[in-house]
Structure formats: C-alpha cells, structure tokens
Chain A
Amino acid sequence: MRLSTFVLIAIAVAAVVFGVSRGIQNDYVFFAGYVVLNYIVLATAWNILGGYCGYVNFGSAAFFALGAYSTVALHKLWPMPIPMLILIGGIVSGIVGLGMGYLTLRLRGAFFAIATLAMAVVLQTLIINWDYVGGSRGAYIIRPQNLEIAGFQLPYVQYLFALMLALTVAAVAVARAIERSSLGYGFATIRDDELAAEACGVPTLKLKLIATALSGAFMGMSGAPFPYYIGYLEPSSAFGLQYAVNSIAMPMIGGTTSWIGPLIGAVLLGSLQQIATVTISSAVNLLIVGVLLVAFVIIAPNGIVGLVQERRRARGPR
C-alpha cells in the first residue's frame, strides 16, 4: 500500500471514530478516548527508538512533561492556539532528546537507558524548583467551554480529542513511513548488529540521533495539549510513572517490529486501564500493566503481533 493511500485510509478511520464518538452523546467517551489516543502516540513514538533501533527510553514521562510544561510556560507568556503549542512542545522535546542522545548514544545502549531514567528525576526536580510554571504547587489552565469554528460551536473537549486524533494519525503514518524507507532499514541494522552496521558504513550515530529526536518530539507533542485537558497541572501528574511504564509496556505487548504493534497494545491496554480505573482502582490497574509487561517479555517476546505471525506460519504450507 502506498503511503498516500495509507494516510487517506487512516484519516477516514479517524473521521469515523470522531463521528461515532459524537454520536454516543456522552462527553465521557471523549475524556477516556483522549487518554487512549495519547497512549497510542506515546507508544508509537517510543517504538520508533525502542522497537526499530533497540534503544530503551525510560524517560517517556519526562518528554511528555516537557511538552506539557512548555505549554504552561507559553500560556502565561503569550497565549496562542493549541496546534502552535503542540508544534513548540514537539520542538522542545525533540531538542532535549537530541542533546541527551548526543551525550549518551555513542556509548553502550545501557547508558542511554540509565540516563533517560535519571533525566526524568532531574527534570522533575527542575520543574519543582521553577516557580514560574507553578513549582510543586502546580499551575491552573482555564479552558474555554466551547470553541467557535466558523459560527459552529464545538465543545472544547471534543476539540482536544480531534487534535489528539490528528496527532495519532500523524504519528502512526510517520512510523509506518519510516519502517518502509531506507531510514527504517538503517534502524533495523542498528537493532540487529550495531557493530556490523557501523562496519558496513551505516552512519549509526546519525540515525540514532534522528530516531531519538523524532521519538522525543512526538512524545512532547502529545504532552502539549495535556494542561488544557486536565485543567490543573502539577509535577507529579505530568511526570506520572504511568506514562513511562505504559509507553514501554504497550509496544512490548503489542509487538515492537511494526507500526501496528504499539497501536494494538495501546488500544487494548489503554481501554483496559480506562475500564479498570473506573471499576477497580488506579493503583491496581498499574499493577496489572507491570505484571503484563513482565509476563509478555518472558513468554511472548514478540508480542501479540508475534503470536499471530507464529500461528499463521504454523498453519500455512511450508
């Protein structure tokens, strides 16, 4: 399938999702759906670096929070429409990803993973000590009730949902495009044998930096509308452990080698958590995610996609 066809289909699917959600006549669908979409973007972004290149990023929450806090900072300085804020959040996170990557990606993979883990703690420390964005007290963002587009009233949460939907389409399309381009093959050589790739003349550092910047940028973009969604942003909610763990667990459970894996993982796990949060409790549903993550990496290393492929191969003619 050509990329343009894929994008058209994805947009059509997104339009249907939006239409159906509006048809249900319940705003909760938009609140829950927004979170699931957010996770699709995070999981897809994580997978660009983690699944394609094989470098683990534990700092998804930090990149997400960078996007959210750049919105808070700009909201006070210079109010502007959310699509602009998404772009800026993406740029900020992308640059931080690039810097982190430049310092640590030249070394063994483990160092990058450890550095991202530590970065989350440090950025949180910085935000807590930075009074301008509310420090540890947090910051309020009052969102308008409705948005008026050409005389048509759209509830604000639906607007945010539509933005996240657009971002989801963009992230999935980019991930799929990478997979089928020379960039994607370059990434795969890094994942499979970096030394051999280097020896064959693959510019590994450059490719890794591209992946880190792209992945960080999408995480930041998904965080930028978050203050408007939640209305009150404090460090512990922006840096929440659930973002870090979900953006790893979702691709791992779905399957890391193709764009569909994180999508499946995020939709399944994201919906499951929305249901579990309402019916059981939010701490228990985090425990479920952790247990699922460990169980999947041990029992089904290639995720749900891998399981399906195995079954197909077993059934098909040799």
Chain B
Amino acid sequence: MADNPQRPMANARPLSPHMTIYRWPVTMMTSITHRATGVGLSVGAIILAWWLVSISNGPEGWQSFHAVADTPVGLLVLFGLTWALVYHFLNGIRHLAWDMGYGFDKREAERNSVIIFALSIILALAAFAVGWTGHGGYLQ
C-alpha cells in the first residue's frame, strides 16, 4: 500500500483485462459467436436467394446450383450455414429468455453456454447425417 505515497490505492485497484493473457469466459465466446453467425447467415441469405432462383429456372437452374453446392467446398459452406443457423436459433432463444430476466446467474449462464455450443454441433451433424444416410427427402 505504501509503494506509491501519491496514489495509495494504486496497488489495490483491479486491473483492466490484458487481452493477450485474458482467459475468455465461455459466455464471451457465445456472445461473439452469436454475432459472427449472424453476419455469416446474412451472407448465407444470398445463397438462399440463389437456390430459390435456381429452382425457378427449372432443371438447368437446379443443376447449375448443385454443380457448385455438391462440391466439397460447397458442402462445407452448407454445413457451416446449417450449424450457424442452429447455433443462432438456440442462442437467440437464450437471449429472449435473458430479455425476460431469466438465466442471468453466472453458473447457469456458463453451463448453458457449453450446452448450446455442444447441442448446436450435434444437431448440425445430425442434420447432415440424416441427409447423407438418405433419411431426408421425405417431402418427395
């Protein structure tokens, strides 16, 4: 305490986070991921527009869309968008719960952050597994 007589409280003050060594709490990760997935989905809307236009263009349009979408990169993008939509959906519901005053407890918020991350990955993988094993396409 007596280190600096001019500023007696200097040593007792809390330090602001040093970003290079700061451990990110999981709630911070969910927050920035919500924003990132939101931006990603906004760009993904252009792909939705392209998909709808390709359907309206008949068989040639459909093929031109799938010529790109069925490539490894195309599938990776579609998987990314699927996960982003599931994540933003789940975490969005949590945001609405927060708006109503529920779930602000620190432990609770940390726990359901982990649950949302895990569940979004599991559901996105499940959706692709259903599609790949031929269990999708039930609207035919």
> Is chain B found bound to chain A in the same assembly?
no
Chain A contact residues, CB within 8 Å of chain B: none
Chain B positions near chain A (C-beta within 8 angstroms):
none
